[in-house]
Amino acid sequence: MKVLVIGSGAREHALCRSLSLDPAVTALHCAPGNAGIAEVAELHRVDALDGAAVSALAVELGADLVVVGPEAPLVAGVADAVREAGIPVFGPSQEAARLEGSKAFAKDVMAGAGVPTARSYVCTTEAEVTEALNAFGAPYVVKDDGLAAGKGVVVTDDVEAARAHAAACDRVVIEEYLDGPEVSLFAVTDGVTVLPLQPAQDFKRALDGDEGPNTGGMGAYSPLPWADPALVDEVMRTVLQPTVDEMRRRGTPFSGLLYAGLAITGRGVRVIEFNARFGDPETQVVLARLRTPLAGVLMAAATGNLADLEPLRWSDEAAVTVVVASHNYPGAPRTGDPITGLDEVAAKDAPHAYVLHAGTRREGDAVLSAGGRVLSVTATGADLTEARERAYVAVARIGLDGSQHRTDIAAKAAAGA
């Protein structure tokens, strides 16, 4: 099977790594990719948002399957263009990707499907914003309706900060604050059959102790020793299957990866958000534990054959990933700095720990930072404690001037708290 992966983050590196280990994959291509992905896949230049360009590349390569990693190409309709060219694609149509592309649309689908989520108002005027903020009280949750790379959400006790964020967006969703630990649960679906993956937890805030601004995600771990073993079944029954059924009922079936961002509140599970693609950095830990070869799973989803797939097999090991980010991330990051220590991790820590690249590029012999999130250092171990230790040993070998990472990824869960 010849596979083309679209994207250039650590999620795409994790996808490419798993695909490169799958004996069914005879050729692996990625566009545009990064310096790390270049070690496992052949890179191609393409504008990932240009459906015609992506489908032309897929045709030229004779790809049997195209996997679209990030949300922006999906929302731009890239999966539709590839599908029209007659090539199976893992990723939802433009219309179905609105589940992620518009928070207001997602709320509407959840209402139709009876999926539990925070009560909310969609606001376009200052008066509506004031009314909604007063209705819910602090802490205030204000979300940009459109795509914002995980940075469009402000959660604050400061009403002026809440108002200011609302004023900076065209249309916002203001909602009830959900209290409780967060879980990311991914499901692979062909639009009818839904296959849940293992749950993971993401660390959204920039700084230790969940302080600082929201980011795209600073680390993740799986499994979740503290979670109810019945959680996955419950979310399948109350969230994932009803949402996939509702999308089909509306005439816009959702195939690809449905990502449920959940809060486990005192009153039960609530959906915080849907995404229409694999999460980053959670994918890094989920795929580290998946034993079933990945290409067949993605192909079955892309071709409507998930019902025939054997149950997924998982490793008993735990996995932890720690994101190394550029100076000033999630603000405008500093880029172009050399990264050292990558060879040392490969020589001393593999196969238990390895570095997945996000914003990197190669210049001669050097690997340079080229984005906000630069690396996702991933490790496996018998339990979270061992996986964490291995991840941080590898992080310590890496040099990147001004870089930042959280030191408490999976710490509480490893300690049994």
Chain residues that interact with ligand AMP, rule: CB under 6 A: 118, 141, 143, 150, 153, 155, 175-178, 182, 204, 214, 261, 272-273
- Residue 33, interface with ligand GLY (CB under 6 A)? no
Q: Is 9 exposed, middle or buried (0-12, 13-18, 19+ CB in 10 A)?
A: buried
- Residue 73, interface with ligand GLY (CB under 6 A)? no
Partner that binds at residue 175, options ligand GLY, ligand AMP, none, CB closer than 5 to 8 Å by kind: ligand AMP
Instruction: Tell me the C-alpha distance between 71 and 277, whole Å.
Output: 6
Whether the CB-CB separation of 399 and 341 falls below 8 Å is answered with yes
Given 12, 280, 317, 349, the residue binding ligand GLY (CB under 6 A): 280
Q: Which residue is nearest to ligand AMP (CB)?
A: 273
Amino acid at site 379: A
Instruction: Tell me the C-alpha distance between 76 and 80, whole Å.
Output: 9
Instruction: Tell me the C-alpha distance between 413 and 417, whole Å.
Output: 6
Partner that binds at residue 10, options ligand AMP, ligand GLY, none, CB closer than 5 to 8 Å by kind: none
Encoding tokens for residue 312?
């997924």
Encoding tokens for residue 371?
């984005």
Based on CB atoms, which residue is closest to ligand AMP, 143 or 397? 143
Whether the CB-CB separation of 4 and 61 falls below 8 Å is answered with yes
Whether the CB-CB separation of 102 and 110 falls below 8 Å is answered with no
Partner that binds at residue 272, options ligand AMP, ligand GLY, none, CB closer than 5 to 8 Å by kind: ligand AMP
- Residue 91, interface with ligand GLY (CB under 6 A)? no
Whether the CB-CB separation of 144 and 153 falls below 8 Å is answered with yes
Amino acid at site 60: E
Instruction: Tell me the C-alpha distance between 326 and 332, whole Å.
Output: 9
Partner that binds at residue 282, options ligand AMP, ligand GLY, none, CB closer than 5 to 8 Å by kind: ligand GLY
Based on CB atoms, which residue is closest to ligand AMP, 177 or 392? 177
Shortest Å distance, C-beta 406 to ligand GLY: 13
Shortest Å distance, C-beta 304 to ligand GLY: 26
- Residue 217, interface with ligand GLY (CB under 6 A)? yes
Shortest Å distance, C-beta 177 to ligand AMP: 4
Cβ burial 258-286 (10 Å sphere, 16+ → b, else e): bbbbbbbbeeebbbbbbbbbbbbbbbbbb
Preceding amide of 281 cis, omega within 30: yes
- Residue 381, interface with ligand GLY (CB under 6 A)? no
- Residue 150, interface with ligand GLY (CB under 6 A)? yes
Q: Is 162 exposed, middle or buried (0-12, 13-18, 19+ CB in 10 A)?
A: buried
Given 279, 333, 371, 372, the residue binding ligand GLY (CB under 6 A): 279
Given 22, 80, 282, 349, the residue binding ligand GLY (CB under 6 A): 282
Shortest Å distance, C-beta 87 to ligand GLY: 25
Least Cα distance to 148 among 184, 124, 172, 176 occurs for 172
Based on CB atoms, which residue is closest to ligand GLY, 1 or 271? 271
Instruction: Tell me the C-alpha distance between 119 and 368, whole Å.
Output: 44
Which H/E stretch holds residue 296?
Answer: helix 294-302
Shortest Å distance, C-beta 202 to ligand GLY: 4
Shortest Å distance, C-beta 386 to ligand GLY: 23
> Residue 238 gets which letter from DSSP?
I
Based on CB atoms, which residue is closest to ligand AMP, 33 or 261? 261
Based on CB atoms, which residue is closest to ligand AMP, 88 or 150? 150
Shortest Å distance, C-beta 288 to ligand AMP: 22
Based on CB atoms, which residue is closest to ligand AMP, 175 or 280? 175
- Residue 202, interface with ligand GLY (CB under 6 A)? yes
Q: Would you tell me which residues interact with ligand GLY (CB under 6 A)?
A: 150, 202, 217, 275, 279-280, 282
